Structure formats: structure tokens, C-alpha cells
């Protein structure tokens, strides 16, 4: 719970504030970009909400915060918004007989440093991609959407409460064998670096680099769930990360590469062969682009890192 006595000095006056427990995970700035800014390596409220829609946006950021670092000193009623997650990113259709969707779960966990997780509603069984914080309100919403049959874990850092979700829903967990220590009871282990096809809609692509057993998931040739492998990010024009005029494009974090940076760059090149229109990461910003523009953005990334197809 955020404490007014620990309110950061960068907050503008008003009902909402960020306190000193903020870990600068960037979740609030992604969910309510007009209201939160980075100040001295932490987030702060840069503009108070003025409308009901803006207030809802800030409250969702409050709920999603992994460390409960966002608070309110006013009479805001937070409880009615607890069931707002998962939020729909895009509706999907399967042969005209099943209407589903791709959702953002919110409720990030401090165990994964605020890593985002996602939910796919699918006719053959629903998927959870990485794990959110275990919150009863979210569990109830997932049950209402048909439950969770498969939990895909991109890597060890973002497993969070995966075991509790697996136990609650009787779900099968998928993780790479090199990451097994993070989920020793996982029901299915992926081995090696070969691509794995699961049915017509799901493709598991091993992408070692950030960690040894990191993987990404491609769904329906449209949605690429990238974990900590790649995101839409402000990135300098040079790899040394010291350029003062960064621009937005796809890339990876050398600073937070825990295993092998050269391997991670090689894994980035693997993605050039696939078609998708959404990049949905654990850390970093998501991005949706039409197919042609996405290809161009990926080629720009390849040029930046001097990647070979």
C-alpha cells in the first residue's frame, strides 16, 4: 500500500501519487502514459486525471503496479475496478464459430519485476503467457472466460505465480528445460533450439540470449509474445546506449541480458522469417503495426544490430 508519508517529490499535487517504494518498472507509464513520467529513476504522477476515463486509466495503472507504489489521498473507490483485468487488446475469430480474444492481464508481480502477462481465449483451450500476480478478482475473470488450460513461460524471470495458477486451473505449464529450475514441476519441457509447432495456431521459437532457455510464442501468425527478448523501446542510434536523442524501434536490452548478448542478437535474427503484427513483451512496450510496416520495422532492427537473416 502506497504511503503518503513516503510520497515522491516529483508528483504533481492531487489525489494520486507514487511513493518511494517504486521500482521503476515502467508499467504505470505504459498503461497511463499521459499521467505518469519518469523522474530521477522512479515514476511520478505528472498530470492528475480530469475525466472519468482518465481516472479509470490511472486506477488500472494503480492496480497493475507490482509493488503497490501508487496511492490515492482522495475518495477514489478502487474496488469496482478490480475486475477490469484482463483487458481486451484485440478480438479474434476462429472459423466464424468461436469468438475469442487476446488480453493483457494487468496485475503484475514484484516477483517478475513488473513483467506483463497475457491471456489467449482459444477454442481448443485458453493460454496464459507468463504469469501475473495471483489475485482472486483476476482468477474469477479468467474463470468467466473459460479458465486456463496452458501456461507458456517465456523464461525463468517471469514465472511469478505460475504454480498457483497451474494448481487453480489444472493447467499444463510449458517451459524450456534450461529454465526448469524456475518451475521444477512443469508438465512439458522444450529442449534444444528447434522451432516447435503446436496445432495450427501456436509456434514456440527458442530464443536463447536473455537467458539460456528463453522462448517466444507466435500465435496465429499475428501475435508474437516476446518475454524479455524484444520490445518496442526508446533506443539510441548506437549500441553503447549513450546517445542523448533516442528514437523508438524494436530492440533488446544489453543491460539486462543475463546470459549471452551475442546469442540474443542471433536469436533476434530468427524472428525475421516470421509474419506477425503485434509484439507483446514482458518488459518494455508492446506495439501493433500492419504487416508491411512491421516487416519494415523488423528490417530496421536487423540493420541496427547488423543481423543476418
pLDDT digit string, tens, across residues 133-169: 999 999 999 999 999 999 999 999 999 999 999 999 9
Q: What percent of the chain has pLDDT over 90?
A: 90
Q: What is the pLDDT of residue 94?
A: 82
Q: Rounded mean pLDDT of 185-212?
A: 98
User: For the stretch 39-74, what's the b/e string if a residue is b when 16 or more beta carbons lie within 10 angstroms of its beta carbon?
Assistant: beebbbbbebbeeeeebebbbbbbbbbbbebbbbee
Q: Which residue has the higher pLDDT, 263 or 236?
A: 263
Q: What is the pLDDT of residue 99?
A: 85
Q: What percent of the chain has pLDDT over 70?
A: 96
Flag the least confident range among 199-203, 234-238, 301-305: 234-238
Say how far apart CA 43 and CA 114 lie, in whole Å.
Answer: 13
Q: Which residue has the higher pLDDT, 240 or 47?
A: 47
pLDDT band for position 173 (50/70/90)? very high
pLDDT band for position 240 (50/70/90)? very low
Task: Tell me the sheet residues that pair with 197.
Answer: 203
Flag the least confident range among 28-42, 188-202, 237-251, 282-296: 237-251
Q: Taking all residues of the chain, what is their mean pLDDT, rounded to a whole number?
A: 95
pLDDT digits (tens, 9 = 90+) for 64-120: 999 999 999 987 899 999 999 999 999 998 877 788 999 999 999 999 999 999 999
Q: What is the pLDDT of residue 242?
A: 46
pLDDT digits (tens, 9 = 90+) for 13-22: 999 999 999 9
Q: Rounded mean pLDDT of 191-218?
A: 98
Asked if the model's pLDDT at residue 243 lies above 90, the reply is no
Q: Rounded mean pLDDT of 295-299?
A: 97
Asked if the model's pLDDT at residue 236 lies above 60, the reply is no
DSSP annotation string for 222-291: TEEEEETS-EEEEE-SSTTS--SS-EEEEE--STT--S-HHHHHHHHHHGGGS--SEEEESSSB-EE--H
Q: What is the pLDDT of residue 98?
A: 81
Amino acid at each position: 500500500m502506497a504511503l503518503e508519508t513516503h510520497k515522491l517529490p516529483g508528483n504533481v499535487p492531487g489525489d494520486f501519487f507514487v511513493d518511494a517504494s517504486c521500482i521503476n518498472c515502467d508499467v504505470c507509464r505504459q498503461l497511463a502514459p499521459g499521467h505518469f513520467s519518469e523522474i530521477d529513476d522512479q515514476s511520478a504522477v505528472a498530470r492528475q486525471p480530469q475525466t472519468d476515463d482518465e481516472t479509470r486509466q490511472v486506477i488500472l495503472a494503480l492496480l497493475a503496479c507490482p509493488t503497490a507504489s501508487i496511492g490515492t489521498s482522495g475518495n477514489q473507490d478502487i474496488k469496482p475496478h478490480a475486475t477490469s483485468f484482463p483487458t481486451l487488446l484485440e478480438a479474434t475469430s476462429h472459423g466464424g464459430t468461436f469468438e475469442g480474444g487476446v488480453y493483457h492481464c494487468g496485475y503484475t508481480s514484484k516477483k517478475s519485476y513488473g513483467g506483463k502477462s497475457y491471456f489467449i481465449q482459444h477454442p481448443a483451450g485458453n493460454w496464459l503467457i507468463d504469469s501475473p500476480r495471483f489475485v482472486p478478482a483476476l482468477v474469477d475473470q479468467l474463470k468467466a472466460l473459460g479458465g486456463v488450460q496452458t501456461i507458456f513461460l517465456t523464461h525463468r524471470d517471469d514465472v511469478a505465480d505460475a504454480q498457483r495458477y497451474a494448481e487453480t486451473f489444472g493447467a499444463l505449464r510449458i517451459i524450456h528445460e534450461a529454465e526448469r529450475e524456475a518451475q521444477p514441476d512443469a508438465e512439458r519441457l522444450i529442449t534444444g533450439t528447434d522451432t516447435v509447432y503446436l496445432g495450427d495456431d501456436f509456434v514456440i521459437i527458442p530464443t536463447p540470449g536473455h537467458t539460456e532457455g528463453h522462448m517466444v510464442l507466435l500465435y496465429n501468425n499475428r501475435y508474437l509474445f516476446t518475454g524479455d527478448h524484444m520490445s518496442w523501446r526508446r533506443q539510441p542510434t548506437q549500441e553503447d546506449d549513450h546517445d542523448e536523442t533516442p528514437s523508438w524501434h524494436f530492440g533488446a536490452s544489453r543491460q539486462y541480458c543475463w546470459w549471452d548478448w551475442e546469442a540474443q542478437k542471433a536469436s533476434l535474427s530468427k524472428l525475421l522469417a516470421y509474419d506477425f503484427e503485434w509484439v507483446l513483451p514482458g518488459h518494455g512496450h508492446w506495439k501493433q503495426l500492419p504487416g508491411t510496416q512491421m516487416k519494415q520495422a523488423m528490417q530496421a532492427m536487423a540493420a541496427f544490430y547488423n543481423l543476418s537473416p
